[in-house]
Structure 1
Amino acid sequence: MHPASWVGWVLAVMVAALATTNPFYLAVILLAVVLVAVLAPREGPGVISFRALAVFGVVMFALSLGIAAINGSYGDHILFTIPGPEVPRWLGGLRLGGPVSAEGLAGAAIRGLAILCILFAYGVFNGAVSPHRVLRSTPAALFQASLVVTVGLTLLPSSVEDLRRVREMRALRGAPGGWRELPALVVPAIVGGLERSLRLAEAMEARGYGASPPLALAPRLAAAASAPLLIAAAWLWFYETGWRPLAALLAFAAAALLWWWWRAASRARAVSRFDREPLPAAERAGLLVAAASALGLLALRLTGRGALTYNPFAGLPLPGFEPLPALLAAALAWPAVLLIARPAPARGAAERDSRLAAEPAP
């Protein structure tokens, strides 16, 4: 699949996961992401990085539940009580221990599900798309940002690969294992990943990837002014319902300023590509589906429809479930349809490509 398709899918999953607090819809989004993760192509470091992110997401989910239990929670359904010290009230409601309610654990689980969906989607993207393809497909206006993203995408796979290599070398030398030896594994892996990313950044800088003429002052000021306009528009829309027309006007002005900066930044840098990777029509349709799904869930959240919001502290009621939001959440699995329909490469061609990739350059 084209890198733009994967980027659009990840952004749609992120918007959908943050637009709802209903555990049923979050579960549908997570199942869609897992289905795409099973069918997405991953080779070498991509498999290892996806596993690392998956483990990290599960750990974050468990950590959110643990923090909710340690801090205690309010609610009518008390499950158990954790002994803890008395905390003064002037500390702003901080609690250490105390009664743990089912409402508090449900709220922590909902937050953990949203984080899990985003981390799984990013893991699929990191394993299925090469950073160099992302750099080639980036528009000229975002070229500088794409350099940073490319270096960042190479950090996790290289660190995981270094961790596996250090672990194998320590095992061959008869070094003891266990949690006490974890710093001896993690520190060399992180240092090696950082050094590899820095070497990549230096090589790209030496080849002129970061050289670009400075942008004019007016477009830079327009881009800087768009951020406070968007913040003011969001504040007026959510907290001052009588000023929503002004909020819409400010959001339109911010979008116009961003479009002006985008046009000026695209013209300031001339980019030549020897081989343009086309975006197939099926993937364009998939991007439209992803945009419709994310915008549809966001519109339902802003209008208060579709039972997208769920408050477990209101007596722990059963979350609502409606067909339209569920279909919009399930539509995020559209890459799985393309991956199933895509013909598998021939065995001889795959072996030839892997053999040519393994041969050293002259």
Structure 2
Amino acid sequence: MTAYWLPRNLHPAAWWLWALGLATAASRTTNPMLLGLILAVAVYVVVNRRSDAPWALAFRLYLMLGAFIVVMRLVYRIIFGGGEGDTILFTLPEIPLPDWAAGIRLFGQVTVESLLGGVYDGLRLATMLICVGAANALANPKRLLKSVPAALYEAGAAVVVALSVFPQLAESVVRVSRARKLRGSTEKGIRAFRAVAIPVLEDALDRSLRLAAAMDSRGYGRSGALTGGARAVTGSLLVAGLLGICVGVYGVLDGTTPRYLAGPMLAAGVAVAAAGMISAGRRVQRSTYRPDRWRLAEVIAAGCGLAAAVALYRSSSVDPANLNPSLRPLTWPEVDLIPALGVLIAVLPAWLVPPPATDLEETDR
């Protein structure tokens, strides 16, 4: 048991499953109390289990982006749709529009119901985004590429590069800001932003060019020998499987869709996509240096996040009113025991998984 608690970095897929489970749970509710609980769980786990790596610094950017989303949803409701409801909060001068813009209103009455609806929707979207940011802060995006199936290796490389944009920007901002302080710069506000933005963008461009050259030298994007018929079969299986997965995921997330479009369609899409991946993987030959292993800690982390998603999914069919508080009439949000416990299970990785390893400890592992 002592070896279990030795510092090490978990398999990146475990943290992504944990975060996607929380994001799925957030997508099932507009209850601000539950969404706040999900946010608290994500922040607590990130604070306790993130490493000192550069990509972990990007989490604060996701928090700021989430706050920006909520504010913009409020502004949108005030400008375009603030009059839905009976409880008038204040009234702004309405701008008349031509007949062809019927149904669209600018300003006018702003109601409490409309603003709360904007807050609920914005908070849900912000929570889902912050959950993705938590996965980026906890998992090494470059190590995730080693776990991508062979059939999706080229696409996985593009996804990993896209996911690492925010962490790289955060690292560039910290490095440029430190360099400015060493030079004695005391500028703040807009001037400081202008002085930091150009070096950060230039650094991001240089990183992109170096990454593209490195990937090209290692043979990314090159495909092995495959007949035309085999390519057609493989492509058809992958496209059909991914379409089935998309429809199934939509059915799972949207409680109003027929049940045969949820679990059965998702299972069929996964099966067809798996067959396509096996067929496509035969043309990709690659080796992996020191592959990441799936151990008990990874099972605990991924299972806790998926437990939150299952709890919210089951609660939506039992008592959907508490997951989506009514705005007409206005009611105070309430939280049932089952969804609250399901979300709280997701905080267990903060104590039940080993602490992250430093770069030296990871090298000696």
TM-score in same-fold range (> 0.5): yes
- State the match for 2:214 in structure 1: 203
- State the match for 1:54 in structure 2: 63
| Contact preservation (8 Å) 1:152, 1:197 | no
C-alpha distance in 2, partners of 1:282/1:240?
Answer: 35
What is the CA-CA distance between 1:26 and the residue it aligns to?
A: 1.2
- State the match for 1:280 in structure 2: 295
Q: Which amino acid aligns with 2:351?
A: V
- State the match for 1:5 in structure 2: 14
Share of identical aligned residues, percent? 31
**Structure 1 residue ranges without an equivalent (≥5):** 358-362
The answer to whether residue 240 in structure 2 is matched with residue 225 in structure 1 is: yes
What is the CA-CA distance between 1:116 and the residue it aligns to?
A: 2.6
In terms of mean alpha carbon deviation, does 98-107 or 168-177 score higher? 168-177
Matched position secondary structure for 1:333? coil
The answer to whether residue 35 in structure 2 is matched with residue 14 in structure 1 is: no
| Contact preservation (8 Å) 1:151, 1:201 | no
Cα distance change, pair 261–295 in 1 and its aligned pair in 2 (3 A): farther
C-alpha distance in 2, partners of 1:229/1:92?
Answer: 38
| Contact preservation (8 Å) 1:43, 1:127 | no
- State the match for 2:140 in structure 1: 130
Cα distance change, pair 352–181 in 1 and its aligned pair in 2 (3 A): closer
- State the match for 1:155 in structure 2: 165
What is the CA-CA distance between 1:121 and the residue it aligns to?
A: 2.3
Cα distance change, pair 133–239 in 1 and its aligned pair in 2 (3 A): closer
What is the CA-CA distance between 1:178 and the residue it aligns to?
A: 3.0
| Contact preservation (8 Å) 2:49, 2:355 | no
In terms of mean alpha carbon deviation, does 59-68 or 322-331 score higher? 59-68
In terms of mean alpha carbon deviation, does 307-316 or 75-84 score higher? 307-316
What is the CA-CA distance between 1:148 and the residue it aligns to?
A: 1.0
By relative contact order (CA 8 Å, sep 6+), the higher-ranking structure is 2
2:336 to 319, 322, 328: 322
Q: Which amino acid aligns with 2:210?
A: R
Cα distance change, pair 317–98 in 1 and its aligned pair in 2 (3 A): same
Aligned residues: 347
The 5-angstrom pairing of residues 161-310 of structure 1 reads 161-167=171-177, 172=183, 177-179=188-190, 182-183=193-194, 185-213=196-224, 216-226=231-241, 229=244, 245=260, 251-301=266-316, 303=317, 305-307=319-321, 309-310=323-324
C-alpha distance in 1, partners of 2:261/2:188?
Answer: 62
C-alpha distance in 1, partners of 2:266/2:141?
Answer: 32
Q: Which amino acid aligns with 1:297?
A: L
In terms of mean alpha carbon deviation, does 54-63 or 32-41 score higher? 54-63
Q: Which amino acid aligns with 1:325?
A: P
Cα distance change, pair 187–43 in 1 and its aligned pair in 2 (3 A): same
Q: Which amino acid aligns with 1:326?
A: A
- State the match for 2:128 in structure 1: 118
C-alpha distance in 1, partners of 2:176/2:271?
Answer: 51
| Contact preservation (8 Å) 2:20, 2:131 | no
The answer to whether residue 49 in structure 2 is matched with residue 40 in structure 1 is: yes
| Contact preservation (8 Å) 2:311, 2:338 | no
Matched position secondary structure for 2:278? helix
Q: Which amino acid aligns with 1:105?
A: L
C-alpha distance in 2, partners of 1:230/1:138?
Answer: 17
Cα distance change, pair 248–120 in 1 and its aligned pair in 2 (3 A): closer
In terms of mean alpha carbon deviation, does 196-205 or 182-191 score higher? 182-191
Q: Could you tell me the TM-score, scaled by structure 1's length?
A: 0.81
Cα distance change, pair 337–90 in 1 and its aligned pair in 2 (3 A): farther
C-alpha distance in 1, partners of 2:161/2:359?
Answer: 29
C-alpha distance in 2, partners of 1:274/1:47?
Answer: 24
Cα distance change, pair 89–305 in 1 and its aligned pair in 2 (3 A): farther
Matched position secondary structure for 2:221? coil
CA RMSD of aligned residues (A): 3.4
C-alpha distance in 2, partners of 1:42/1:119?
Answer: 20
Q: Could you tell me the TM-score, scaled by structure 2's length?
A: 0.81
Cα distance change, pair 201–250 in 1 and its aligned pair in 2 (3 A): same
Q: Which amino acid aligns with 1:83?
A: P
| Contact preservation (8 Å) 1:12, 1:291 | yes
Q: Which amino acid aligns with 1:158?
A: Q
| Contact preservation (8 Å) 2:95, 2:107 | yes
| Contact preservation (8 Å) 1:69, 1:97 | yes
Cα distance change, pair 289–232 in 1 and its aligned pair in 2 (3 A): closer
